[in-house]
Structure 1
Amino acid sequence: MSKKIEETIVIRNEKMSYAVRLCSKLEGEGSRLENRNPYMVVEDGKIKYLDSLYGNKSEFNFNDEVHAVAKEIFISGLRTAIKEEILRLKQLELVLNEMDLTECIGNTLEESATFLQRVKGFIGQRD
Protein backbone atom coordinates (compact mmCIF):
# COMPACT_ATOMS: atom_id res chain seq x y z
CA MET A 1 0.00 0.00 0.00
CA SER A 2 1.38 3.44 -0.88
CA LYS A 3 0.33 6.78 0.54
CA LYS A 4 0.28 10.16 -1.06
CA ILE A 5 -1.43 13.47 -0.50
CA GLU A 6 -4.85 14.07 -2.02
CA GLU A 7 -5.40 17.79 -2.60
CA THR A 8 -8.62 19.54 -3.53
CA ILE A 9 -10.13 23.00 -3.60
CA VAL A 10 -13.62 23.16 -2.12
CA ILE A 11 -16.28 25.70 -1.24
CA ARG A 12 -17.15 25.55 2.46
CA ASN A 13 -19.41 28.07 4.14
CA GLU A 14 -19.34 30.19 0.98
CA LYS A 15 -15.53 30.41 1.06
CA MET A 16 -12.98 28.73 -1.16
CA SER A 17 -10.78 26.39 0.87
CA TYR A 18 -7.85 24.15 0.11
CA ALA A 19 -8.28 20.70 1.66
CA VAL A 20 -5.69 17.95 1.95
CA ARG A 21 -5.61 14.39 3.25
CA LEU A 22 -3.52 11.26 3.00
CA CYS A 23 -4.88 9.05 0.26
CA SER A 24 -4.55 5.29 0.65
CA LYS A 25 -4.53 3.19 -2.50
CA LEU A 26 -4.25 -0.53 -2.85
CA GLU A 27 -1.68 -1.32 -5.49
CA GLY A 28 -2.52 -3.77 -8.25
CA GLU A 29 -5.75 -4.47 -10.09
CA GLY A 30 -6.57 -0.76 -9.92
CA SER A 31 -8.83 -1.31 -6.91
CA ARG A 32 -9.05 1.36 -4.26
CA LEU A 33 -9.52 1.06 -0.52
CA GLU A 34 -12.12 3.24 1.12
CA ASN A 35 -10.23 6.30 2.30
CA ARG A 36 -10.97 6.88 5.97
CA ASN A 37 -8.36 9.58 6.46
CA PRO A 38 -9.81 12.96 7.43
CA TYR A 39 -9.49 16.09 5.33
CA MET A 40 -7.47 18.88 6.91
CA VAL A 41 -8.53 22.49 6.29
CA VAL A 42 -7.55 25.77 7.89
CA GLU A 43 -10.54 27.98 8.65
CA ASP A 44 -10.62 31.12 10.76
CA GLY A 45 -7.08 30.48 11.96
CA LYS A 46 -7.92 26.98 13.21
CA ILE A 47 -6.87 23.60 11.89
CA LYS A 48 -9.96 21.46 11.38
CA TYR A 49 -10.22 17.78 10.52
CA LEU A 50 -13.29 16.65 8.60
CA ASP A 51 -14.33 13.06 7.98
CA SER A 52 -15.85 14.05 4.67
CA LEU A 53 -16.64 17.10 2.62
CA TYR A 54 -19.92 15.75 1.27
CA GLY A 55 -22.92 18.01 1.64
CA ASN A 56 -20.89 21.20 1.86
CA LYS A 57 -18.50 20.82 -1.02
CA SER A 58 -18.25 21.90 -4.58
CA GLU A 59 -15.10 20.62 -6.21
CA PHE A 60 -13.50 22.51 -9.06
CA ASN A 61 -10.72 21.84 -11.52
CA PHE A 62 -8.72 25.05 -11.35
CA ASN A 63 -5.62 25.72 -13.38
CA ASP A 64 -2.18 25.15 -11.86
CA GLU A 65 -1.68 28.81 -10.94
CA VAL A 66 -4.90 29.02 -8.91
CA HIS A 67 -4.07 25.69 -7.27
CA ALA A 68 -0.59 26.96 -6.31
CA VAL A 69 -2.03 30.16 -4.80
CA ALA A 70 -4.65 28.20 -2.83
CA LYS A 71 -1.91 25.89 -1.54
CA GLU A 72 0.24 28.85 -0.44
CA ILE A 73 -2.73 30.34 1.43
CA PHE A 74 -3.32 26.96 3.10
CA ILE A 75 0.34 26.62 4.13
CA SER A 76 0.44 30.18 5.45
CA GLY A 77 -2.74 29.61 7.47
CA LEU A 78 -1.40 26.29 8.73
CA ARG A 79 1.84 27.90 9.92
CA THR A 80 -0.10 30.66 11.70
CA ALA A 81 -2.45 28.16 13.36
CA ILE A 82 0.48 26.05 14.57
CA LYS A 83 2.26 29.10 16.01
CA GLU A 84 -0.91 30.19 17.82
CA GLU A 85 -1.40 26.72 19.27
CA ILE A 86 2.20 26.64 20.49
CA LEU A 87 1.67 30.02 22.20
CA ARG A 88 -1.48 28.72 23.91
CA LEU A 89 0.42 25.66 25.15
CA LYS A 90 3.26 27.87 26.40
CA GLN A 91 0.74 29.99 28.32
CA LEU A 92 -0.73 26.83 29.81
CA GLU A 93 2.75 25.72 30.84
CA LEU A 94 3.38 29.06 32.59
CA VAL A 95 0.06 28.86 34.46
CA LEU A 96 0.74 25.28 35.55
CA ASN A 97 4.26 26.25 36.66
CA GLU A 98 2.84 29.10 38.78
CA MET A 99 0.35 26.69 40.36
CA ASP A 100 3.03 24.01 40.96
CA LEU A 101 1.11 21.61 38.72
CA THR A 102 3.83 20.88 36.19
CA GLU A 103 3.32 17.15 36.62
CA CYS A 104 0.06 17.63 34.69
CA ILE A 105 2.00 18.08 31.48
CA GLY A 106 5.32 16.45 32.26
CA ASN A 107 7.50 16.41 29.16
CA THR A 108 4.62 16.97 26.76
CA LEU A 109 5.80 20.38 25.56
CA GLU A 110 9.38 19.19 25.07
CA GLU A 111 8.19 16.12 23.18
CA SER A 112 5.86 18.30 21.10
CA ALA A 113 8.70 20.70 20.31
CA THR A 114 10.82 17.79 19.09
CA PHE A 115 7.94 16.55 16.97
CA LEU A 116 7.37 20.04 15.52
CA GLN A 117 11.06 20.28 14.60
CA ARG A 118 10.69 17.05 12.64
CA VAL A 119 7.57 18.42 10.95
CA LYS A 120 9.41 21.65 10.17
CA GLY A 121 12.18 19.64 8.52
CA PHE A 122 9.62 17.66 6.52
CA ILE A 123 7.80 20.81 5.39
CA GLY A 124 11.11 22.45 4.52
CA GLN A 125 12.00 19.51 2.28
CA ARG A 126 8.70 19.87 0.38
CA ASP A 127 8.90 23.66 -0.24
Structure 2
Amino acid sequence: MLDKKALDVQILHVAPLTSVADYLVIGSAESDRQTRAIADHIDSIQSGKGDRPLSIEGMSSGQWVLMDFGDVVAHIFRQDAREQYALERLWSDAELVPIEEEAPVPAPVAAPKKRVVTRKPRAKKSV
Protein backbone atom coordinates (compact mmCIF):
# COMPACT_ATOMS: atom_id res chain seq x y z
CA MET A 1 0.00 0.00 0.00
CA LEU A 2 2.79 2.38 0.85
CA ASP A 3 4.16 2.11 -2.71
CA LYS A 4 1.01 3.87 -3.96
CA LYS A 5 1.05 6.46 -1.16
CA ALA A 6 -1.73 4.97 0.96
CA LEU A 7 -2.35 7.00 4.10
CA ASP A 8 -2.44 5.82 7.72
CA VAL A 9 -1.81 2.13 6.95
CA GLN A 10 -2.49 -0.16 9.90
CA ILE A 11 -2.26 -3.90 10.41
CA LEU A 12 -4.52 -5.40 13.05
CA HIS A 13 -3.98 -8.92 14.41
CA VAL A 14 -7.58 -10.14 14.77
CA ALA A 15 -7.02 -13.94 14.99
CA PRO A 16 -7.81 -14.10 18.73
CA LEU A 17 -11.07 -12.20 18.13
CA THR A 18 -12.57 -13.81 15.01
CA SER A 19 -12.27 -16.79 12.68
CA VAL A 20 -12.83 -14.60 9.61
CA ALA A 21 -9.16 -13.66 9.19
CA ASP A 22 -5.89 -13.49 11.09
CA TYR A 23 -5.01 -9.94 9.99
CA LEU A 24 -6.80 -6.87 8.71
CA VAL A 25 -4.79 -4.38 6.70
CA ILE A 26 -6.42 -0.96 6.56
CA GLY A 27 -5.33 2.03 4.49
CA SER A 28 -6.76 5.26 3.11
CA ALA A 29 -6.61 7.03 -0.23
CA GLU A 30 -7.41 10.57 -1.24
CA SER A 31 -9.66 9.66 -4.19
CA ASP A 32 -11.62 6.82 -5.77
CA ARG A 33 -8.96 6.54 -8.48
CA GLN A 34 -6.17 6.18 -5.90
CA THR A 35 -8.22 3.60 -3.98
CA ARG A 36 -8.51 1.47 -7.13
CA ALA A 37 -4.82 2.01 -7.98
CA ILE A 38 -3.78 0.77 -4.54
CA ALA A 39 -6.05 -2.28 -4.88
CA ASP A 40 -4.69 -3.03 -8.38
CA HIS A 41 -1.15 -2.74 -7.04
CA ILE A 42 -1.83 -5.12 -4.15
CA ASP A 43 -3.49 -7.58 -6.55
CA SER A 44 -0.57 -7.53 -9.00
CA ILE A 45 2.08 -7.91 -6.25
CA GLN A 46 0.25 -10.76 -4.51
CA SER A 47 -0.74 -12.49 -7.76
CA GLY A 48 2.91 -12.34 -8.83
CA LYS A 49 3.69 -14.32 -5.68
CA GLY A 50 0.96 -16.86 -6.54
CA ASP A 51 -1.43 -15.49 -3.91
CA ARG A 52 -4.60 -14.57 -5.80
CA PRO A 53 -7.43 -12.96 -3.82
CA LEU A 54 -10.44 -15.10 -3.00
CA SER A 55 -12.66 -12.07 -3.54
CA ILE A 56 -12.44 -8.38 -4.37
CA GLU A 57 -15.38 -6.10 -3.64
CA GLY A 58 -15.96 -2.38 -4.29
CA MET A 59 -13.66 -1.77 -7.26
CA SER A 60 -16.44 -0.16 -9.29
CA SER A 61 -17.17 2.57 -6.74
CA GLY A 62 -13.66 2.96 -5.34
CA GLN A 63 -14.91 4.31 -2.00
CA TRP A 64 -14.11 1.10 -0.10
CA VAL A 65 -12.30 -1.83 -1.70
CA LEU A 66 -12.17 -5.08 0.24
CA MET A 67 -9.65 -7.73 -0.82
CA ASP A 68 -9.95 -11.16 0.80
CA PHE A 69 -6.76 -13.25 0.73
CA GLY A 70 -8.04 -15.79 3.28
CA ASP A 71 -5.93 -15.16 6.39
CA VAL A 72 -5.44 -11.51 5.43
CA VAL A 73 -8.20 -9.09 4.47
CA ALA A 74 -7.21 -5.70 3.06
CA HIS A 75 -9.51 -2.68 3.30
CA ILE A 76 -8.68 0.35 1.17
CA PHE A 77 -10.92 3.31 1.93
CA ARG A 78 -11.37 6.77 0.61
CA GLN A 79 -10.58 8.94 3.66
CA ASP A 80 -14.15 10.05 4.35
CA ALA A 81 -15.49 6.48 4.12
CA ARG A 82 -12.80 5.26 6.52
CA GLU A 83 -13.86 7.85 9.08
CA GLN A 84 -17.51 6.84 8.66
CA TYR A 85 -16.99 3.08 9.11
CA ALA A 86 -14.18 3.35 11.70
CA LEU A 87 -12.97 -0.26 11.54
CA GLU A 88 -10.20 0.56 13.98
CA ARG A 89 -12.82 1.32 16.64
CA LEU A 90 -14.78 -1.81 15.77
CA TRP A 91 -11.61 -3.90 16.20
CA SER A 92 -10.16 -1.82 19.06
CA ASP A 93 -9.30 -5.00 21.02
CA ALA A 94 -7.03 -6.19 18.20
CA GLU A 95 -3.26 -5.91 18.53
CA LEU A 96 -1.71 -3.27 16.27
CA VAL A 97 1.19 -4.78 14.31
CA PRO A 98 4.13 -2.42 13.71
CA ILE A 99 4.89 -1.72 10.05
CA GLU A 100 8.46 -1.51 8.82
CA GLU A 101 9.11 0.92 6.01
CA GLU A 102 8.80 -0.96 2.76
CA ALA A 103 11.49 -0.61 0.17
CA PRO A 104 9.93 0.64 -3.06
CA VAL A 105 9.21 -2.06 -5.60
CA PRO A 106 11.66 -1.54 -8.45
CA ALA A 107 10.24 -0.93 -11.89
CA PRO A 108 10.87 -3.76 -14.34
CA VAL A 109 14.03 -3.30 -16.33
CA ALA A 110 13.54 -3.48 -20.07
CA ALA A 111 15.86 -5.76 -21.99
CA PRO A 112 18.45 -3.86 -23.99
CA LYS A 113 17.46 -3.29 -27.57
CA LYS A 114 19.33 -5.35 -30.09
CA ARG A 115 21.33 -3.35 -32.53
CA VAL A 116 20.39 -4.14 -36.09
CA VAL A 117 23.24 -3.83 -38.54
CA THR A 118 22.43 -3.65 -42.20
CA ARG A 119 25.12 -4.15 -44.75
CA LYS A 120 25.14 -2.87 -48.22
CA PRO A 121 25.67 -5.55 -50.84
CA ARG A 122 29.17 -5.53 -52.22
CA ALA A 123 29.63 -4.37 -55.74
CA LYS A 124 30.69 -7.17 -58.04
CA LYS A 125 34.17 -6.87 -59.41
CA SER A 126 34.52 -6.94 -63.14
CA VAL A 127 37.05 -9.31 -64.49
Asked whether the two chains share a fold, i.e. TM above 0.5, the reply is no
Give the TM-score of the pair, scaled to structure 2: 0.25
- Larger RCO, structure (CA 8 Å, separation 6 or more): 2
Q: Look at both structures and tell me which one has the larger radius of gyration over its CA atoms.
A: 2
Q: Whose helix proportion is higher, 1 or 2?
A: 1
TM-score relative to the length of structure 1: 0.25
